[in-house]
Amino acid sequence: MISSIRIAVVVALLLALLAPALALGQAADVSAPPQFTDRTEAERFHALTEELRCVKCQNQSLADSDAAIAQDLRNEVLELMRQGKTNAEVKHYLVARYGEFVLYRPRVEPTTWLLWFGPAVLLLVGGFVVAGIVRKRSGNRQPAEAVDDDQEW
């Protein structure tokens, strides 16, 4: 019984000593920020990565995400840019690979009509419902009977 406690203590101490080394190993995996050839390339890269969504994080742009896949996609975007691809070609490549989800502003197509026009349709329907309710309530009111001052209660 005592030996199992000693083993547990030794294992806990080893893990405590190895934890900082493991953390340093993970920190080394983070690659350095990309090196740009000129200012226009940097501006184009940043503008493009702001328009693209991280496929893992979902609510962050590619530029803001710290996920490993976001780093890979940023490297891929830069490589495609250096191959002479236009922004539209880079987006088309990523859409073909990951779907429309990768775009923060999906294209207006029959498959995305609900996404683009759904909120406006719901707002209009809600406005008509509220107007109908208000009209119905105001139309059902009976005029108040005139109170005769001579009438006793």
Residue 142 has pLDDT above 90, yes or no: no
pLDDT (tens digit per residue) in 113-129 = 787 788 899 999 999 99
Residues 43 and 99 reside in one and the same domain? yes
- Residues facing residue 53 across a β-bridge: 61
Residues 116 and 99 reside in one and the same domain? no
Would 80 be classed as within a structural domain? yes
User: Mean pLDDT for the chain?
Assistant: 80
pLDDT (tens digit per residue) in 72-92 = 999 999 999 999 999 999 999
pLDDT (tens digit per residue) in 36-47 = 888 998 999 999
pLDDT (tens digit per residue) in 21-35 = 555 444 444 566 777
CA 62 to chain CA mean position, Å? 10
Would 88 be classed as within a structural domain? yes
- Number of independent structural domains in the chain: 2
Closest CA to 101 of 60, 52, 49: 52
